[in-house]
Amino acid sequence: MRLLHTSDWHLGRTLHGVNLHEAQTAVLERICELVESPPDGIPVDAVLVAGDVYDRGVPPVESVQLFEWTLSRLSAVTTVVVTSGNHDSAIRLGYGSGLFRDRIRMVTDLGQLDLPVLLEGSDGVRGAVYGIPYLDPDHARVALAGGGEPLPRSHQAVVGAAVERIRADLADRPGVRSVVLAHAFVAGAEPSDSERSIMVGGVDRVAGTVFAGIDYAALGHLHGPQAPDSADGSVVRYSGSPLRYSFSEQDHEKVVLLVDLDETGPARVTPVEISQPRPMATLRGRLDELLEAPEHRHAESAWVRVTVTDRVRPDSLMDRLKSRFPHALQVFHDPEGAVERTRGGTTVVSERDPRELGSDFIAHVTKTEASDGEIDVFAAGYEAAVVAQHKAEAQEVA
């Protein structure tokens, strides 16, 4: 049996104000092509989408249309199992789940935890796919308590209880390979800057051992593909997001995971790279070097984060950078040799020596020590302003 594991599409997300709809369309097109024409000819028996289909509970219309288009293409050739993540509205994402044909299975309700999607692979291997939608501990600790005392207020408690229900159902299905979709932060995995915190009670992680006895756990929530710690015999993986959603992800190789399950033995996982519509780059240096140096040519078509180190912030900085890097998204000014000056005492500004005042002002603006010439110019301007003010006051009196 072959499965394709993906997650965290975040349809509707922007990147520092840039609409990512076209980029998201491109990566979903690539996923559809992989399913329609597998690279090694082995058919994909199901696509698993482990949460965060959308970036917010009420997504843009164009994002809903993109999801519909993707589901239509995928379900034409395989089964699609989708669970809700912490960014999704479970009710909105699950709307129509009772109406969809068998090839589209939306698992967004806690009551569906132990109701698997039963599959038979093209090679005859049988599988049971269980979906765990994102579990908010404050709600799930009551819903999963079975009428007894609420569970402890933690992700570990509610995810553990959900998997226990799944194990109980599996006990009546001998010879069936088990797959669980879950949207959670498993201990030992590395986050990026892109994920929204799910911390409750000071803890946001669950132990990978919670999936003990499950053949394959298809995880969502973290955007980097990785394999956190797990129990013996279980294979636990994050597919990561198919698109880079922050500069902290610029070195991620974005993938989907092809998962092969034989009748026995551990799951075999093969990452397949998803080429990015636009690269990312982080640059640092003086403005003239950034605009002229040939080694930065690779960044001319990239989404760029730039730190300019000129002593004084250049005029029209963003416009000048965009003349070479039209997709610059973040620009910072961090002067070389910057100093932190602290002003001692409580002297009223109007009572301070103008040269001292000018020195502090120039250091604050430029992050460097003021030169004697700069202080002279500031002092001259200060004196001229004082003279002009006195003349104006004299004229008012007259």
Q: Which of 293, 286, 273, 381 is nearest to 337 (CA)?
A: 286
Give the bridge partners for 149, in sequence order.
Answer: none
In this prediction, residue 95 has a pLDDT band, given cuts at 50, 70 and 90, of confident
pLDDT at residue 67 in the model: 97
The burial of 9, by beta-carbon neighbours within 10 Å (0-12 exposed, 13-18 middle, 19 or more buried), is given as buried
Instruction: Look at residue 160 and tell me whether its pLDDT is greater than 60.
Output: yes
Compute the average pLDDT of residues 181-209.
82
Nearest to 1 by CA among 100, 78, 116, 84: 78
Q: What is the mean pLDDT of the segment spanning 299-307?
A: 97
Residue 161 pLDDT exceeds 90: yes
Say whether pLDDT at 354 is over 80. Answer: no
User: Pairing state of beta strands 303-308 and 280-285?
Assistant: parallel
Quote the pLDDT of residue 320.
Answer: 96
Q: Between 254 and 392, name the one with better pLDDT.
A: 254
| Buried/exposed 310-321: b ≥16 CB within 10 Å, e otherwise | beeeeeebeebb
Q: What average pLDDT score do residues 90-110 get? A: 89
When pLDDT is averaged across residues 155-183 and rounded to a whole number, the result is 96
Q: Which of 226-235, 287-296, 312-321, 362-371 has the lowest mean pLDDT?
A: 362-371
How much is the pLDDT for 329? Answer: 95
Which are the contacts of 242, defined by CB distance < 8 A and separation ≥ 6?
6, 8, 9, 27, 28, 30, 31, 254, 255, 256, 274
Which residue, 62, 13, 53, 15, is CA-closest to 31?
53
Average pLDDT of the residues of the chain: 89
Q: What pLDDT is attached to residue 118?
A: 96
Confidence of residue 356 (pLDDT cuts 50, 70, 90): low
The structural domains of the chain, with segments of one domain joined by +, span 2-273, 280-333, 349-397
Length of the chain: 398
Q: Which strand (E) or helix (H) includes residue 226?
A: none
- The pairing of strands 280-285 and 117-120 is unpaired
C-alpha separations of 294 from 57, 305, 323, 326, 357 in Å: 44, 17, 15, 16, 42
Looking at residue 233, its pLDDT comes to: 78
Pinpoint the alpha helices (H) of the chain: 21-36, 61-75, 90-94, 137-143, 155-170, 287-292, 317-324, 354-366, 372-397
DSSP secondary structure string, 238-302? Answer: E---SS--SGGGTT---EEEEEE--SSS--EEEEEE---SS-EEEEEE-HHHHHH-GGGGGGTTS
Indicate whether 150 pLDDT > 60: yes
Quick: pLDDT tens for 240-287: 999 999 999 999 999 999 999 999 999 999 999 999 999 999 999 999
Candidate from 50-64, 86-100, 378-392 with smallest mean pLDDT: 378-392
CB 14 within 8 A of CB 56: no
Tell me the percentage of the chain whose pLDDT exceeds 70.
89
Spatial CA neighbour of 152 closest among 141, 136, 140, 139: 141
Which position has the higher pLDDT, 264 or 396?
264
Does 340 have pLDDT greater than 90?
no
- The pLDDT of 9-21, averaged and rounded, is 96
Question: What number is the average pLDDT over the span 125-142?
Answer: 95
Considering the four listed CATH numbers 3.30.70.20, 3.60.21.10, 3.40.50.720, 3.10.20.30, the one that applies to the domain covering 2-273 is 3.60.21.10
CA-CA-CA-CA dihedral for 296, 26, 46, 86, to nearest 10: 80
Q: Give 351's pLDDT tier (boundaries 50, 70, 90).
A: very low
| Cα Dmax for the chain | 104
**Amino acid identity for residue 351 in this structure:** E
Average pLDDT over residues 306-319: 94
Residue 343 predicted with pLDDT over 70? no
Confidence grade of residue 304 (pLDDT, cut at 50, 70, 90): very high
- Of residues 370 and 23, more confidently modeled: 23
Residue 176 contacts residue 128 (beta carbons within 8 Å): yes
Question: What average pLDDT does this structure show over 333-355?
Answer: 59
pLDDT value at position 126? 98
The band of 346, judged by pLDDT with boundaries at 50, 70 and 90, is: very low
